[in-house]
Chain A
Amino acid sequence: MAEKKLLLWLSQLACNANAHSLLNHPSLEEFQKSFDWLYHPLLPSLSSLDEILDNYEEMECDILLIDGALCAGLSKKGVRMRDMLEHFAKSCSHILTVGTCATYGGIFSAGGEDRSGLHFDGEKRLDGFSDFFEKSISLPGCPVHPEIVVSVITALAQGGSLPLDSYRRPKEYYGYTVHDGCSRNEYFEYKIDRHDFGHLEGCMFYEHGCRGTYSAGSCNMILWNGVSSKTRVGEPCHGCTEADFPTRGLWRTEKHMGIPARLPLGVSKRAYLSLAGVAKAFRIDRFHRRILEDEE
């Protein structure tokens, strides 16, 4: 990279976990050598937020990172956040919505009026910032995985193509489901519907509300903090990367006539029932024993 690109992180209604999560990237120190932060809420930055609020009209950045749900009435020190976002959005080359709140509205959109993501309110497309849609990239997740932020910024700085889906999510990370790579996959494939919390065995899809088979994400491929994932340890995926996060009844599977109401991404009910019927016709002993059980 010829010159250091200038990054700007602007928080809206946020919890700051996206910012903290970035600090967990294993190569953050090396990444930092190639980029400068005009402002980041934790890391050393070229400017204070105070200076930016006072002089933002004279400032620019290369990549704008927006964190947190947008809120029409939000201002800091009398500066409307909306005006400031619009200013930087005009001149930057790319906008990243970092996390589910900035992308779709997320949890906090239900806490007050006029809250949403940058381009989406849940699944609904918004007009407010549509001039910048083509330069925006959506990185949902609550929080977003730090590897995704670092890889995408690096790819943008180096040029080249970044395949995106209709929500403008990079396909390298969101072209999979959270189910891919889950250590409990066999219990799903063979339709073993028993799952007890506190055990290595079992799949949470059938009883405990796991949304991994229909949530876009790569948690189980790139793993969290280099070591694990929610579903690997035995917590259902709550679909935190999705436009409808948080749904209601996050720990139980909604069913119609005993069949899970939501089926794996793109799988028809007929296909699902046919496969389930075949799988259930067999009893495979291994899936009914504890993995750590001593053998004779």
Chain B
Amino acid sequence: MSRTLRLIEKVEGEVSLSYRVENGRLRAVSTSFFSSRGIEKILRNREAMDALVINPRVCGICGHAHLMATVRALESAMGNPKLTAKAEALRELTLTLEMIQNHFKWFFLTIAPLLGMKSPIQAAIEPSRTAASMIAVVAGQYPHNSYAIPGGVVCEPTIREKSILLYSLEKLIGYFTRYIVDTDFRSIEECEKIENILRMDGYLPQAMRLIMERGWERLGRSRDRFIVFGENGIFRQGKSMATRYYPSLRPDYIEESFVPESGANSVRYRGRHYETGPLARAMVAKRPLIREAHRRYGDSLLSRIMARVCEIASLLHYCRELIAGIDLSQESYIEPGEFPQSGVGWGVVEAARGSLIHRVEIEEGLIADYSIITPTQWNLVASDAEEGILHGALEGESADAPIELIFKSFDVCSVCTTH
């Protein structure tokens, strides 16, 4: 039986999706990627600090998360030098802002057109531009800066930067109300009833209504297994099988294996594939609205879309707390001492698309080995298609289903996957 080959584009590059159609249903789903840039190879034999400059260039939309994973991996190899609360807060803030710009762009540039929504381009551009300039005010530029280095951050923000952050954040909150849901953004975090959101104005309720009118709300269900490695002021580490929660994970249980037909590495935790990303984060952190969506629709495309867009509200709230908590009088940087001649370090962060993991091995002062595991690898690449996450979402689905929408509900990043 012949295979259907589809080019999925505008996913930070492209992915080739292939499947067979049997009796009107999708079978033998697989993905493949056109190229790899070989970042891990480029890093080998370089000075460890060079990774801070190279690694943001893994990705144009989540490069800052790669910077944070890098600096944590290097610090871990150095024995975790002390950071001030200010340095920690600034790093958290810029990382969170990157997630916000990502979610706005994804919803309005990727999802809205697939639903036929007539949202203005400003809905994507105004918030992402504002978030980018907030990152730049402390980190110098966005995309692609390396302002976080072992020991802290390079900048010394003053009242100028703090007031720009403060008022720009209020602008971002305004965009959330204007474009996402016309309500106080805090109420989304506490909301438990999907009907309450559906009654409101805004492009999120509109998208939800469109999905429900077409009967798509339960499409795209997969394995119902979620994993979250990163932990911070709003995210909790752990894995969740449906609604059962297991805390504490060990990075050494992660296994990566090359899948030749895909051209990328699959990744498993103790032998199993897991979904990572905002739905996983909401399930592990037990966010009421998303748990309610999950109870009704399962780990479907609607739950995924709601989880990612509603996460913006939590991220905005987190930014507000972080900015308010920055004590400008603290040091930005504490000299961390010499780099060890040899050592191993792990860097784990929650990036926009899910858990991002870097591992560095230093020998004779140089990078002997560097390994990058990205969220889309968890969600899209499978060593065993019977177990894969995207595979589960599409396998057996009707050939008339919105296949591209199901695919893109994972917020796929092609360039990160092969890196």
CB of B42 within 8 A of CB of A107, answer: yes
CB of A234 within 8 A of CB of B58, answer: no
Contact digits for B45-70, partner A, Cβ 8 Å, 1 yes 0 no: 01101101110011111010000000
CB of B132 within 8 A of CB of A225, answer: yes
Q: CB < 8 Å: which of A21, A77, A198 contacts B143?
A: A21
Binds B, one of A57-65, A132-140, A185-193, A247-255: A247-255
CB-nearest residue of chain B relative to A107? B57
In angstroms, Cα B99 to Cα A246, docked, is 27
CB of A233 within 8 A of CB of B50, answer: no
In angstroms, Cα B151 to Cα A107, docked, is 26
Q: Which residues of A contact B155 (CB under 8 A)?
A: 198, 233-235
In angstroms, Cα B9 to Cα A26, docked, is 26
In angstroms, Cα B418 to Cα A74, docked, is 14
CB of A199 within 8 A of CB of B47, answer: no
Q: Which residues of B contact A265 (CB under 8 A)?
A: none
CB-nearest residue of chain A relative to B51? A250
CB of A198 within 8 A of CB of B333, answer: yes
Interface residues of B in 110-168 (CB under 8 A from A): 113, 121-122, 124-125, 128-129, 132-133, 135-147, 149, 151-156, 158, 164
Whether a CB of chain B sits under 8 angstroms from the CB of A273 is no
In angstroms, Cα B58 to Cα A231, docked, is 22
Whether a CB of chain A sits under 8 angstroms from the CB of B326 is no
In angstroms, Cα B135 to Cα A230, docked, is 12
Whether a CB of chain A sits under 8 angstroms from the CB of B267 is no
Given the known A-B contacts A227-B136, A246-B53, are A15 and B333 also in contact in the complex, defined by CB atoms under 8 Å?
A: no
Contact digits for A46-86, partner B, Cβ 8 Å, 1 yes 0 no: 00111001000000000000000101001111000000000
Interface residues of A in 209-255 (CB under 8 A from B): 219, 224-235, 238, 240, 246, 248-252
CB of B153 within 8 A of CB of A198, answer: yes
In angstroms, Cα B144 to Cα A227, docked, is 15
Classify the secondary structure of A's interface with B: loop
In angstroms, Cα B267 to Cα A195, docked, is 43
In angstroms, Cα B109 to Cα A143, docked, is 21
Q: Which residues of B contact A225 (CB under 8 A)?
A: 129, 132-133, 135-137, 141-142
- The interface size bin for chain A is 35 or more
CB of B136 within 8 A of CB of A224, answer: yes
Q: CB < 8 Å: which of A15, A48, A232 contacts B9?
A: A48
CB of B149 within 8 A of CB of A197, answer: yes
Whether a CB of chain B sits under 8 angstroms from the CB of A111 is yes
CB of B133 within 8 A of CB of A111, answer: no
Contact digits for A13-24, partner B, Cβ 8 Å, 1 yes 0 no: 111111111011
Q: Which residues of A contact B9 (CB under 8 A)?
A: 41, 48-50
Q: CB < 8 Å: which of B59, B128, B138 contacts A23?
A: B128
Q: Which residues of A contact B173 (CB under 8 A)?
A: none
In angstroms, Cα B35 to Cα A251, docked, is 30
CB of A228 within 8 A of CB of B137, answer: yes
Given the known A-B contacts A14-B415, A224-B142, are A53 and B7 also in contact in the complex, defined by CB atoms under 8 Å?
A: yes
Q: CB < 8 Å: which of A50, A108, A240, A252 contacts B38?
A: A108
CB of A16 within 8 A of CB of B59, answer: yes
In angstroms, Cα B63 to Cα A11, docked, is 18
- Give min CB distance, B318 to chain A, whole Å: 21
Q: Which residues of A contact B142 (CB under 8 A)?
A: 24, 224-225
CB-nearest residue of chain B relative to A249? B47
Whether a CB of chain B sits under 8 angstroms from the CB of A114 is no
Q: Most chain-B CB neighbours within 10 Å: which of A19, A32, A224?
A: A224
CB of A76 within 8 A of CB of B139, answer: no
Whether a CB of chain A sits under 8 angstroms from the CB of B189 is no
CB of B12 within 8 A of CB of A16, answer: yes
In angstroms, Cα B132 to Cα A226, docked, is 10
CB of B147 within 8 A of CB of A233, answer: yes
Whether a CB of chain B sits under 8 angstroms from the CB of A110 is yes
Q: CB < 8 Å: which of B128, B137, B333 contacts A197?
A: B333
CB of B125 within 8 A of CB of A18, answer: no
Whether a CB of chain A sits under 8 angstroms from the CB of B41 is yes
Q: Which residues of B contact A32 (CB under 8 A)?
A: 121
Q: Which residues of A contact B13 (CB under 8 A)?
A: 11, 14, 16, 41
Interface residues, chain A, with chain B CB atoms under 8 Å away: 11, 13-21, 23-24, 26, 28-29, 32, 41-44, 48-50, 53, 69, 71, 74-77, 107-108, 110-112, 142-143, 196-200, 219, 224-235, 238, 240, 246, 248-252, 292
Q: List 29 A-B contacts (CB under 8 A).
A: A16-B415, A17-B144, A20-B61, A21-B143, A23-B124, A28-B125, A41-B13, A43-B121, A76-B7, A77-B5, A77-B16, A107-B37, A107-B57, A108-B37, A111-B41, A112-B38, A142-B144, A196-B333, A197-B333, A198-B154, A225-B133, A229-B140, A233-B154, A234-B140, A235-B140, A246-B53, A250-B50, A251-B49, A251-B50
In the complex, given contacts A28-B129, A226-B133, A233-B154, what are 7 additional A-B residue pairs having Cβ atoms less than 8 angstroms apart? A14-B60, A16-B61, A23-B105, A26-B129, A198-B154, A248-B46, A251-B47
Q: Which 5 A-B pairs have the closest CB atoms?
A: A111-B38, A198-B333, A17-B60, A224-B141, A198-B332
Interface residues, chain B, with chain A CB atoms under 8 Å away: 5, 7, 9-10, 12-14, 16, 34-39, 41-42, 46-47, 49-50, 52-54, 57-61, 63, 87, 105, 109, 113, 121-122, 124-125, 128-129, 132-133, 135-147, 149, 151-156, 158, 164, 331-333, 415
